[in-house]
Amino acid sequence: MPGLQARIVLRWQVPKRGYDVASGEVTGEEYEGFRAFLAESCGIVLGENKQYLLTTRLRPVLEEFGFASLHDLLEHLRHGVGLGLRERVVDAMTTNETYWFRDGHPFDILATTLLPELQQRRCTMPRIWSAACSSGQETYSISIVVQDYLRARPHAFPGDVQVVGTDISPTMLEKARAGVYYKSELLRGLPAELRERHFRRHSGGWEVAPRVRARVRFLDFNLLKPYTLLGRFDVIFCRNVLIYFSSESRRDILDRMAKVLVPGGYLILGASESLSGHSSKFQMARVGGGILYRLRESPHPRG
């Protein structure tokens, strides 16, 4: 029906502060405006008919900054007005679902294949990147695996292992850095035995033990920006984030990840993600029930 897509009307509740929160309308033009803003600022592709995502996720931003409508918000974004506004909108629009030892296999592979291989290669201080780490569960799961590996082999890596968690969401990074989780969050994937050994009770829930935290660093980082300052990595976990990007951004991110991996380094994707058609720089390997990608040894220009 002509015009149907152009004006989709979603009704919101009467706003608490008494201003007209957009009267709940997302016009086709506004929708396109937010799509373009998100694609350009963080690579997220807002699919068709996701108007409800805009209205539900941006409502708190409208209230916080005192905007009357999505139209007002978009205008301010376009003209670069509002301190921290762009970051706040990106933060609100990201999907941050995560949990401990998600999908199992990557962490088994780390323990049984990757750490032994790095030890055998006499790597003195392996570096592992948890790209798009959300609230830190993936990053700390990696550090727990390393901790248990080193318990049995205290001299495996003279410089220990560095684990770097990065994300674009300041809210998620704040939680990750705090390292304190509610019991309900720990119940999502963390075996009780690991909780007893690697966490201690805290007024707000459970806190990651200092020895697990000590090797972890969290950085605010947009995967669309240059990677050079991050240094080189032996292993990259890049899981459940590429699905939100366009094919072009995926290819670009994978190319740049290849450049910061050491020769023969490993890339691990999410269970529903694959490299198919996006990069020829990696070779797929099956280990146990999991899949990982090894950077081909041919030299690449670094940068």
Residues 123-182 that bind ligand SAM (CB under 6 A): 132-134, 138, 167-169, 172
Q: With respect to ligand SAM, which residue has the nearer C-beta, 100 or 149?
A: 100
Interface with ligand SAM includes 28 (CB under 6 A)? no
How many CB atoms sit inside 10 A of residue 215's CB? 21
Query: Is 68 a residue that touches ligand SAM (CB under 6 A)?
Result: no
State the Cα torsion 299-240-77-30 to the nearest 10°. 120
DSSP-based three-state secondary structure for 280? coil
Q: How far is the CB of 23 from ligand SAM (least distance, A)?
A: 30
| 96, 134 contact by CB (below 8 A) | yes
Stretch that binds ligand SAM, among 3-11, 91-99, 104-112, 113-121 (CB under 6 A): 91-99
Of 100 and 157, nearer to ligand SAM (C-beta) is: 100
Residue 105 binds to ligand SAM (criterion: CB under 6 A): no
Tell me: does residue 292 bind ligand SAM (CB under 6 A): no
* Contact call for residue 82 and ligand SAM (CB under 6 A): no
- Which of 88, 91, 167, 234 is catalytic? The answer is 167
Distance, in Å, from the CA atom of 196 to the CA atom of 181, rounded to the nearest integer, reads 14
- The footprint of ligand SAM (CB under 6 A) covers 42-44, 94-98, 102, 132-134, 138, 167-169, 172, 222-224, 239-241, 244, 270
Q: Which residues are catalytic?
A: 57, 167
